[in-house]
């Protein structure tokens, strides 16, 4: 009995010891494994904040006013009405053209400068002429501060002379010292001629006072003057046709014009600084400074779609204007180029005006 009882006690004692030893071994092994592991401890990824939804722009909710600085029936007025009609149908509101005439378009510039920056006022500006007017007689317009929508239309600049003229290149013109036909000492053609003659070293010998393009061409044929800076309207285009009496000497566009394929560009003739949009007669569209970017984008998108509509393009070309769409950013860049060029030649232009 006693022997059996002692064996039972020993057997029980060994079982508990075995259990305790095993448990300690497991715990110790886990600690050792954790301390010796090279694997990095996973770092919890913080929860990402929920993006704030972008509010939808409720625009437009009423009519948009398109300000034009010239009388009804002119080229820029036609552009505003034609493009505005398309935009109005697309945006679901009226785009109303209002003519703020006077001061060579500067009243319209001032109206958009003072307009509320809410997208309900836009304007078409005659550039670079408006820039030059501001430099000659500052009125507070900051053209690089406007929110540019794009280029509506443009008219190419071309220099013409009678076919019998002995000169063709700028160097030949400079040597011949021709009399320059000029309706007046203001306006776009005057500006282009003033800057070009300075850059090309062409003497400034002006005969002015003609009553427009037709009178200027007639004066050249009568021998009263010899060369003319002008925009390429349909009448000018017709005048340099093979059967007519005039020839084109050079154009200011980046490439030769389809209707004057034999007339070189100023860049081809060695004067790239005068080429591109810097001196072209451009109708650029802008909204007041500070107009929200989302609203500017809505207007620009509709504006650009209008300029890619075949009916809109056909009507504008019938009015003697070319359509070359430019984005708002490209237009802003073009205005910067115009400003840099005109800043350099402001004193020259002023001197040309005062020389007569």
| Residue 33: predicted pLDDT | 42
Task: Please indicate, yes or no, whether residues 172 and 246 belong to a single structural domain of this protein.
Answer: yes
For residue 86, what is the domain's CATH number? 3.40.190.150
| Residue 166: predicted pLDDT | 96
Task: Please indicate, yes or no, whether residues 288 and 150 belong to a single structural domain of this protein.
Answer: yes
Which has the higher per-residue pLDDT, 303 or 213?
303
Would residue 311 count as lying in a domain?
yes
Would residue 45 count as lying in a domain?
no
**pTM confidence score:** 0.79
Mean pLDDT value of segment 313-335: 92
Task: Please indicate, yes or no, whether residues 270 and 186 belong to a single structural domain of this protein.
Answer: yes
Give the separation between CA 293 and CA 202, rounded to whole angstroms.
45
Task: Please indicate, yes or no, whether residues 233 and 201 belong to a single structural domain of this protein.
Answer: yes
Task: Please indicate, yes or no, whether residues 168 and 138 belong to a single structural domain of this protein.
Answer: no
> Model confidence over 155-206: pLDDT tens digits?
888 999 999 999 999 999 999 999 999 988 888 999 999 999 999 999 999 9
Q: Which domain holds residue 289?
A: 64-154+280-352
Give the separation between CA 65 and CA 298, rounded to whole angstroms.
15
Task: Please indicate, yes or no, whether residues 266 and 117 belong to a single structural domain of this protein.
Answer: no
Q: What share of the chain in percent tops pLDDT 70?
A: 83
> Model confidence over 108-166: pLDDT tens digits?
999 999 999 999 999 999 999 999 999 998 988 888 889 999 999 998 889 999 999 99
User: How far lies 228's CA from each of 10, 35, 221, 306, 355, in Å?
Assistant: 128, 92, 12, 34, 18
Would residue 47 count as lying in a domain?
no
Task: Please indicate, yes or no, whether residues 254 and 175 belong to a single structural domain of this protein.
Answer: yes
Task: Please indicate, yes or no, whether residues 109 and 84 belong to a single structural domain of this protein.
Answer: yes
| Residue 250: predicted pLDDT | 96
Say which residues have a Cβ less than 8 Å from residue 348's Cβ, sequence separation at least 6.
194, 195, 198
Would residue 316 count as lying in a domain?
yes
Task: Please indicate, yes or no, whether residues 146 and 292 belong to a single structural domain of this protein.
Answer: yes
Number of domains in the chain: 2
């Amino acid at each position: 009995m006693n022997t059996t009882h002692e064996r039972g006690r020993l057997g029980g004692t060994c079982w508990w010891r075995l259990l305790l030893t095993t448990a300690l071994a497991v715990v110790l092994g886990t600690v050792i494994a954790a301390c010796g592991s090279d694997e990095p401890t996973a770092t919890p990824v913080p929860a990402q904040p929920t993006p704030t939804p972008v509010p939808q722009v409720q625009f437009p909710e009423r009519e948009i006013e398109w300000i034009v600085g010239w009388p009804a029936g002119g080229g820029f007025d036609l552009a505003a009405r034609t493009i505005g009609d398309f935009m109005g149908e697309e945006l679901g509101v009226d785009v109303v053209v209002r003519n703020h005439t006077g001061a060579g378009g500067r009243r319209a510039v001032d109206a958009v400068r003072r307009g509320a920056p809410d997208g309900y006022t836009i304007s078409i500006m005659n550039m670079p002429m408006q820039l030059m007017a501001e430099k000659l007689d500052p009125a507070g317009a900051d053209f690089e501060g406007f929110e540019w929508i794009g280029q509506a239309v443009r008219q190419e600049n071309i220099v013409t002379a009678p076919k019998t003229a002995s000169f063709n290149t700028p160097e030949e013109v400079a040597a011949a010292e021709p009399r320059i036909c000029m309706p007046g000492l203001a306006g776009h053609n005057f500006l282009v001629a003033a800057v070009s003659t300075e850059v090309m070293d062409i003497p400034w010998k002006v005969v002015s006072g003609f009553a427009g393009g037709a009178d200027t061409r007639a004066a050249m044929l009568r021998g009263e003057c010899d060369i003319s800076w002008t925009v390429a309207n349909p009448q000018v285009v017709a005048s340099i046709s093979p059967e007519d009496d005039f020839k084109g000497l050079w154009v200011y566009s980046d490439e030769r014009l389809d209707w004057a394929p034999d007339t070189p560009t100023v860049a081809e003739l060695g004067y790239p600084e005068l080429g591109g949009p810097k001196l072209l007669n451009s109708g650029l569209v802008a909204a007041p400074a500070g107009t929200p970017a989302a609203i500017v984008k809505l207007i620009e998108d509709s504006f650009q779609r209008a300029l890619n509509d075949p009916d809109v393009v056909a009507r504008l070309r019938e009015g003697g204007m070319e359509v070359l769409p430019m984005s708002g950013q490209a237009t802003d860049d073009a205005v910067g180029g115009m400003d840099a060029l005109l800043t350099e030649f402001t004193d020259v232009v002023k001197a040309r005006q005062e020389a007569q």
